[in-house]
Every structure is written in structure tokens, then in C-alpha cells.
Amino acid sequence: MSFGKDNSHLAGMPVYGGSYTQRAANAGRKKERNYGNRRPYWADGFRPSETQASTIRLIPGDYEITRVDENDQLITEKTAWYEFVEHYSGTHRRGAICSGGPWFFNKNKRNTCYGCDKRDSEPNRKGSRKSMSRSDKFVFTTIDEGLFHQVQQVDRESGRARVNTKTQEPYLEWVKCTQRGCQNCHVAYQHRYGYIQPWVMSKSHFNALNAYAPQIGTCCVSCGGRQTIQSLAWLCGNPQCRQLIFDMRTTTASDEQIAKVVNEPYGCRFCQQKCYAEEVIHCVTCAQYNRQPVRATIFDVDLQVKAPRTGENDTTVLQIVGMSDPKPLDAQFQDLLQYKPDLKKRFTPSSLEEQSNLWPDSAPAQQPSPGQPGGYLPPAGAQPPMYAQPYGQAPAQYPMAPQPVQQPLQPVYPQQPQQQPHFIPQFTHTQMGSAVPQYPTPAYPPSYQPPQPVPNQQQHLQQQPQQPFLGTVPTGGYYQPPNT
């Protein structure tokens, strides 16, 4: 057994192999690293009920996820779910997807992200939270097997049904039946069971889901039996190596120690490859019929889930209250697979323009480009430029810099040759949109002090308008587009 060996020399090697359970455990664990210091993506998604259990089926995908491990090495894995990092501003109460990339925690390596910049600019104060949060999100394609109604879409602000302005036909959407007291049962255009949509969950819900995976893993997909799978050994995942790591019948390692080794990319000291360990299993039922056993995962069963509140703010805890035997997806839901959402496209990083609209105080202030003195004359009727103010104050408009008051000139009789200074024409604003040129003045005697400029006492304040929130028509498995 090679548990406890120093594998630091394997840092940076590519990762191979691994089952769903291993990859999910590795993705959900807390990384020990030094952080230094269109249509909304969240709309029309599955959310577990707080009181009623929902029967769902998770549909596996195929996504390439790039992460940074504890050794600051980029690794790429293929996963059945999609991942992204979300920022949420407590000040503006709006969130967006981080655009910093896999190096989001390193300000010197990450891509430009206003959410990351805003978070890093805030001081770390004990007992206080930063206004900009950052959290890991995991997305599964999910089929909710409950009853759904197709009803008119209602505008959130006005409370009225949304209508296509060209055809005057209402926009339709699918909503889930709330069972007792449902207001849509008698007004729906049509009904059906099943709806496919993304399920965005936090890391705590992701870990709770996968904490139930070992119980599912005791079931066999080949025979459909429950608690028939047994683990015999763990081997190196390199097909050319297959070195024994754990013999489950003789090992002295605890279950926690074994899980820590096999649920992370394992660096083999024999073949010098870094890959997930491979498990050798045995099914008591399949052995009688000479079948190849297959350990079940969360994608092979129907799950019953709900998420009651914990009593702390809006925090919920995911609960798995039941599951079916391992089986294929029911035939009545097979047609929903054609509407499978593209999670990578749906949850692409938010653009910098979108981030600046959502969080006006996080985008860097636009600095005016320095102009040559006297080289620019504002056109007639032009408004003075806007200057950024601290958050919470309206942006101010300042007039052009005041010019010295023009005084009568006194003749100067030079006593000796002097070098004439170079003068640049200046302009004195008499009113907004017009200017009078002021020509160079001769040098004054050493005893003469030019008059001080008179400061302008007025500042024109202009309230910066807020960016409107523009909703879009939701799309789903059964959205009926209008006839345009």
C-alpha cells in the first residue's frame, strides 16, 4: 500500500480516468490554496420544494472543466455536470457569472472580472462580510417528473400577461403544479408530466447530493439489485501499470483514509502517472449468472429531493428522501431529451458591459484622455464632462477650469536682453458653448504678482440614471414561440 507516500514530484501531470463518484468528490472538496487576497442564466431552473418531495432524473452531460489544483497547476477534466463561479453584490442585489477564468483567485493571472476586482478591493474586517460574494456553482441537467401547466407568462413588474406586440398573441411558459390550491390547474392551455431544465446548486447541495452516492453505489445497474455490490480492491488507473493500491480484504487503512486517496488524482510512484484509482467490484447476483457488474451512480436512479430551510437567512439543506431501483429513463420522458439545454452556452461568463450595468460601482472609472493645452475647443452647445463620484453620491458636472481675471497691462521697458518665454494660447469661457481667445501677455517685473484665479463656487449636479432591467422571454422544453 502506498498511502502516505510523498508524491510532490507528480505535480503538474495530466489527470486520467476516474468514475463519476471520484470526480464529484474531488470537485466538491475545499481546495487548500493561497488566494492572496440576454436572458438571465438563473431563470427557468429547477428548485427543490421546501415541503414537497420532487421526483427527478439527472441526465449526464460531457463537459471539459479546467481547474487549478493546490500546486498551482492547470488540470482539465471531463465531467457529467457543468461548473462556474458566481458573484453576487449585496449592495445591488444582483449576480453575474465570473469572467476571471480558472485563475479567478489570483489577481495577477486571472482575466478581467469586475466582480473579482471589487471583492479584492474591499478590506478584510473581522466580523463583517464583503459586499461582493464569490461562490462555486454546479449545474445538472434535470428532468422533473411532476405535473406541469402551460400558462400565460406574467410580467413581474406590472403583473399583466405579456403579449407579442406584432401578433397580439400571449407568451406562454410551463410552470409546475403546486398541487393543493394550484391556481393554474383550471386556466392552463395544456398539461403534461415532465419538464427538462438546469438545476443550479451550491457546493453544500452538491456535496449533500454526492454524500448519498455511496448508498446508490451499492446497487448494480446490470441486475438492478440493491446492496449487492462489494469493493474488492483499488488499482492504479494507468492500464499499463495496474499497481495495487488497496486490498480491501487486508488493508489497515480506514474508510476515510481510503476515500481521501481514491477521490483525488493519485500519483503512482511506479509508473509516474497521475490518474484516478480504479476500483475492482463484485456483485453477488451477477456472479451467479456470469454477468459484468456495474456500480450505479446518481444518473441511474430516480431521486426524490426537497430542500427545507435551516432557519438561518435563506439557507436551505438538500435532502434525498427516496430513490428507485437502478433503471433506464422512463419511456414517457424520453422525448424531453431533444430539449436538453446547452449548459456551457447558457452559463457562459458575463461580459464586462453586463457586469458594469449590474454593478455600477465595480467598473473602473473612465479617465478623460489628457489633451494639449489650447488644442481642443468644445463645440457650441456641448455639455461639460461627467466626473465619477464615490458610490452613493450623484456624479457631478464641473465647468471648465477658471481662468485668471484679465487685468490692464503695464508697459515694461527692458533693462537688459531677456529670453522670452514660450506662450501657449489660452481660452477663457464666457458662457457654456463659446470661448474668447486670450493672447500671450508680456513678462511682468519681478515685483509684480499676477492676480489669483477666482474659484467657481457652483457645481452642477446631475443624477445618474439607473440601468433598467430588461427581461426576456424564457425558453424551455415546451415553449410555444409566437407566430411572427
Domain boundaries, the chain: 32-203+330-364+475-484
- Across 14-18, 108-112, 417-421, the highest mean pLDDT is recorded for 108-112
Task: Tell me the average pLDDT across 312-326.
Answer: 90
For the chain, how far is it from start to end, CA to CA, in angstroms? 68
pLDDT band at 395 (very low <50, low <70, confident <90, very high): very low
Residue 439 has pLDDT above 50, yes or no: no
Residue 154 has pLDDT above 90, yes or no: no
Least confident of 159-163, 355-359, 396-400, 450-454: 396-400
Give the pairing of strands 278-283 and 190-202: unpaired
Stronger pLDDT, 49 or 389, i.e. the higher one: 49
Quick one: pLDDT at residue 387? 39
DSSP annotation of 220 reads: B
DSSP annotation of 369 reads: P
Task: Tell me the average pLDDT across 35-64.
Answer: 82
User: Whole-model pTM?
Assistant: 0.65
* Residue partners of 408: CB distance under 8 A and separation at least 6: none
CB atoms within 10 A of CB 476: 16
Quick one: pLDDT at residue 14? 56
Q: What is the mean pLDDT of the chain?
A: 77
Stronger pLDDT, 176 or 159, i.e. the higher one: 176
108 alpha carbon, distance to own chain's centre: 20
Quick one: pLDDT at residue 102? 92
Cell numbers of 182, please? 394550484
Quick one: pLDDT at residue 37? 33
Inter-residue contact 321 to 327 (CB < 8 Å): no
Cell numbers of 76, please? 482539465
Stronger pLDDT, 207 or 482, i.e. the higher one: 207
3-state secondary structure of 424: coil
DSSP annotation of 464 reads: P
Inter-residue contact 188 to 180 (CB < 8 Å): no
pLDDT tens-digit series, residues 95-141: 999 999 999 999 899 999 999 999 998 888 777 788 899 999 999 99
DSSP 282-302: EETTGGGGTPPP-B--TTSS-
Residue 460 pairs in a beta bridge with 397
- The number of helix segments (H) and strand segments (E) in the chain equals 7, 21
Inter-residue contact 92 to 106 (CB < 8 Å): no
Distance CA 362, CA 113 (A): 9
Quick one: pLDDT at residue 405? 52
| Dihedral Cα 350, 352, 358, 363, nearest 10 deg | 150
Task: Tell me the average pLDDT across 24-28.
Answer: 69
Least confident of 345-359, 395-409, 460-474: 460-474
Least confident of 149-163, 268-282, 334-348, 427-441: 427-441
CB atoms within 10 A of CB 141: 24
Percent of the chain having pLDDT more than 90? 48
Structural Rg of the chain based on CA atoms: 33
Residue 235 pairs in a beta bridge with 244, 278
Tell me phi and psi for residue 277, to 5 degrees: -70, 150
